[in-house]
Chains A and B, each alone.
Chain A
C-alpha cells in the first residue's frame, strides 16, 4: 500500500526566512512519481512539481527547491527567502508510474509566512 506522511501540520515563519516542508512516503512500487501541490487561501490546487523515481537529482526553480532522497524515502520541499504569498497549504503526493489513478496525498502542511 502507498502512503504519504507530512508530519508538519502547520509551520509559521517570518518573511525572508527559509523553510523546509517534509514529505516521507511508502511504496512497494519500484517506479513511481512524486508531486507537490500548493493550495493558496483561494482554494485551488496548483501543481508545482513532478519527480520520477529514476531521477534523484535535486531541482531548483527560483526560490523553490526539492530534495529527493530515495534512501530515506523523502521528497522535501524548501522555500528560500519566503514571502507572504507563499502562505498556503502544501500537499505532497505519490503515484505509481503505471497508473496515476492510485495517487495518494499527504495530509498537507499549512505554511504561514508573516510579514
Chain B
C-alpha cells in the first residue's frame, strides 16, 4: 500500500530533550516536506527536500533540522525542543519536485507536546 509513515504518532517530552520524528514513504517520491499545524494558522512548511541530499528551509525552520540521505526517508530533528514547538506535525511527499504534479501525500501526523 502506498503510504507515508510517521513515527511516533504521539509524543510528550520535556524542554531540551532531543527528539527525532521519522518519516518514510514507499512511493519513490522525489519531493518530501514537513509541515506543522497550529490552530488558526493552517499548515506551515518547516523544511522541504527536492531530492536526496537536497534540503531547504520553509517558512518556519527555526529550531528544526532535517536530513535526506535516502530517497524514502526524511526525518525531522528537534535538537532542543521548546514549548512553542508543541504542535501537530505532518510529513508529505510528492512524485516530482517541480512541474506541478501537485498532489501532496500526507502522513497520519505526529502530535508533539513539549513540557
Interface majority SS (helix, strand, loop, mixed), chain B: strand
Between A and B, 26 residue pairs with Cβ closer than 8 Å are A9-B40, A35-B102, A43-B88, A43-B109, A47-B103, A47-B105, A91-B43, A93-B43, A95-B100, A97-B99, A98-B98, A98-B100, A100-B31, A100-B94, A100-B101, A100-B102, A101-B45, A101-B50, A103-B104, A105-B42, A105-B43, A105-B44, A107-B40, A107-B41, A107-B42, A108-B42
Please report which residues of chain B, range 101-115, place their CB below 8 angstroms from some CB of chain A when the two chains form the complex.
101-109, 111
* Distance A9 CA – B35 CA, assembled complex (angstroms): 20
Contacts of B50 in A (CB 8 A): 101
Please count how many residues in chain A sit with their CB below 8 Å of the partner chain's CB atoms: 27
* Contacts from B to A (Cβ < 8 Å): 31, 33, 35, 40-45, 48, 50, 88, 90, 94, 97-109, 111
Q: Which of A61-100 contact B (CB under 8 A)?
A: 91, 93, 95-100
CB of A94, distance to nearest CB on chain B (Å) = 10
Contact of A44 with B by CB under 8 A: yes
Q: Which of B42, B104, B106 contacts A100 (CB 8 A)?
A: B104
Question: Which of A6, A50, A96 is close to B103, meaning CB atoms less than 8 Å apart?
Answer: A50
The reply to whether B108 and A43 form a contact with Cβ atoms under 8 Å apart is yes
Q: Which residue of A lies closest to B41 (CB)?
A: A107
CB-based contact A97/B100 at 8 Å: yes
